[in-house]
A and B are shown apart, each in its own frame.
Chain A
């Protein structure tokens, strides 16, 4: 019998320990599929960030470097500058990339570092129990915004793709979601594209994946998928924000 659906080689044969309905598992799989697709497992270095995704080193079967909160783009820069033959991806959450690591992501992007960034936006700090993130929606209740995020005291949801697309140094920026099969298919295509950009030495690529956090959102997995569809997509529209991969040499 021919198997029609198998575990990608780039994932270890261990079960994910993420919460039920969390999207990290799906996004991990899409990254692994991209690594398999290009046959680059033996020259890929992944970055495990601080947050729920730190356990990336338990799941991916490529070499993994665990990096301090927010600093993966700097560490990726060090790796890629020292060994341009290696393929480097960082996998970061919204607190990591869009709050404590804002300087690092902007400057790595602006330098056009030839790296691939997977940015997982679930609108809160998951690992620490659901505090407000820079991407938390206005009115969204979190552990540190019990009455909902207020623009007057907490500012607005930070739009990373829109911001990075304005930088001349970036090559490919796209926002995707994995809350239904159609979106997930598109997300897989986008992540492959982001790795392709790096493989062709065309510079900085970032894929923002909107993701669920049913535990901290206090929703069922199905409700969380709906919340992404109805609330998050309005604030964080999906689509390609920048693509200069065809014109870059």
Chain B
């Protein structure tokens, strides 16, 4: 084992996320102020120029996502970040990015909604993040960090996934993970995929080759349907290849929590608290929200495991869990919206009511 002591730093989630982007070789960052993600543009404004990258504060979220669109089209690794209301504004661009199959990374440090909501951490954007979000028939990869370390590592990985599948990739985090401070280990082994496809579609100037077009308009008879089927095939490949989750104590538990991000941190405490009281409680934490890790949930359900989904919203991932379980066993829900957060004792009480 290598000594990671020198590579260890104390950082907030939003800063760690920026380091993940820098590690991935992110060349362009375009952002716009909104709480609670303001640390991201502030950090990128000095950090990315250090590695020869571009920082630009856009005039709007619309402009920022379209700057990403332009940079991605010429083959650059590009990122933007925002928080819930700003992510809604970016949806137009995300739909175009998906339609044009341009890889990029979009970060949502969620806050309470709807509307202007509040600035507290929340998980209210799960539906938006996992169902495409904008108009049209498409999906985006969606990763949900559960720690400051994962804010860095999953952001780095998000660029590889985006390039590998030519798809916009979302980091779905929240104000709590963005602002909290934890030790982070800077890994020496950074390359996840060394077999990334060459960007033979990028607009680099038609020198010694026919001109290239990147577009999302398909007016010819049947053209768009064919295009949508192609995207669908890609989504199916993604659903086969990259679903990921973390398990805690799921081997012989008969009751299991399902939670992602900040809610999963509380859930972890619930598992330990239950253990002290002699209750055998499991936790399944989806790390990829799209593709959703259906299979492991289905397998637990077949063994008769019952579930409590806990979310900082009114039941959004719940629906994916119900689809995975498909009525085989019980799926209960406990959630708090609008920036409310539960404590472990509160959850344990709910768990006990179902045992």
Q: What 1/0 mask marks residues of chain A from 39 to 78 whose CB sits below 8 Å from any chain B CB?
A: 0011111001000001001001111111110010011111
B310 at the interface (CB under 8 A from A): no
Chain A residue, CB-CB nearest to B215: A66
What are the residues of chain A within 8 A of B58 when measuring CB–CB?
A: 74, 107
What are the residues of chain A within 8 A of B212 when measuring CB–CB?
A: 63-64
How far does the alpha carbon of A212 sit from the alpha carbon of B42 in the complex, in Å? Answer: 47
In the complex, which of the residues B27, B68, B213, B217 has the most CB atoms of chain A within 10 Å of its own CB atom?
B213
What are the residues of chain A within 8 A of B93 when measuring CB–CB?
A: 68, 71
A43-B205, A61-B211, A81-B56 are known contacts. Are A66 and B28 too (CB-CB below 8 A)?
no
B71 at the interface (CB under 8 A from A): yes
**Stretch in B73-81, B114-122, B258-266, B330-338 touching the partner:** B73-81
Report whether B207 and A103 are in contact in the complex, using a CB–CB cutoff of 8 Å.
no
Query: What is the minimal beta-carbon distance from B69 to any residue of chain A, in angstroms?
Result: 5
A186 at the interface (CB under 8 A from B): no
Interface residue range, chain B: 35 or more
B66 at the interface (CB under 8 A from A): yes
Query: What is the minimal beta-carbon distance from B276 to any residue of chain A, in angstroms?
Result: 53
Which listed residue, A44, A54, A65, A103, touches B73 by the CB 8 Å rule?
A65
B67 at the interface (CB under 8 A from A): yes
What are the residues of chain B within 8 A of A240 when measuring CB–CB?
A: none
Report whether A74 and B66 are in contact in the complex, using a CB–CB cutoff of 8 Å.
yes
Report whether B69 and A45 are in contact in the complex, using a CB–CB cutoff of 8 Å.
no
A14 at the interface (CB under 8 A from B): no
Number of interface residues of A (CB under 8 A): 33
Chain B residue, CB-CB nearest to A69: B92
Report whether B54 and A104 are in contact in the complex, using a CB–CB cutoff of 8 Å.
no
Chain A residue, CB-CB nearest to B208: A42
A42-B205, A75-B73 are known contacts. Are A81 and B217 too (CB-CB below 8 A)?
no
A7 at the interface (CB under 8 A from B): no
A83 at the interface (CB under 8 A from B): yes
Report whether B217 and A66 are in contact in the complex, using a CB–CB cutoff of 8 Å.
yes
Report whether A66 and B67 are in contact in the complex, using a CB–CB cutoff of 8 Å.
no
Chain A residue, CB-CB nearest to B28: A82
In the complex, which of the residues A44, A63, A77 has the most CB atoms of chain B within 10 Å of its own CB atom?
A63
A66-B215, A75-B73, A78-B69 are known contacts. Are A83 and B28 too (CB-CB below 8 A)?
no
Query: What is the minimal beta-carbon distance from B65 to any residue of chain A, in angstroms?
Result: 8
How far does the alpha carbon of A104 sit from the alpha carbon of B70 in the complex, in Å? Answer: 13
What are the residues of chain B within 8 A of A82 when measuring CB–CB?
A: 27-28, 54, 70-71, 74-76, 78
Question: Top 6 closest A-B pairs, CB basis?
Answer: A78-B70, A66-B215, A75-B70, A74-B66, A42-B207, A78-B67
Chain B residues packing against A (C-beta within 8 Å):
27-28, 30, 54, 56, 58-60, 62-64, 66-76, 78, 92-93, 96, 100, 203-208, 211-217
Chain A residues packing against B (C-beta within 8 Å):
41-45, 48, 54, 57, 60-68, 71, 74-83, 86, 103-104, 106-107
22 contacts between A and B (CB under 8 A): A42-B207, A43-B205, A44-B205, A62-B206, A63-B204, A63-B206, A66-B213, A66-B216, A67-B69, A71-B62, A71-B66, A74-B58, A74-B67, A74-B70, A75-B70, A77-B70, A78-B70, A82-B76, A103-B63, A104-B59, A104-B60, A107-B59
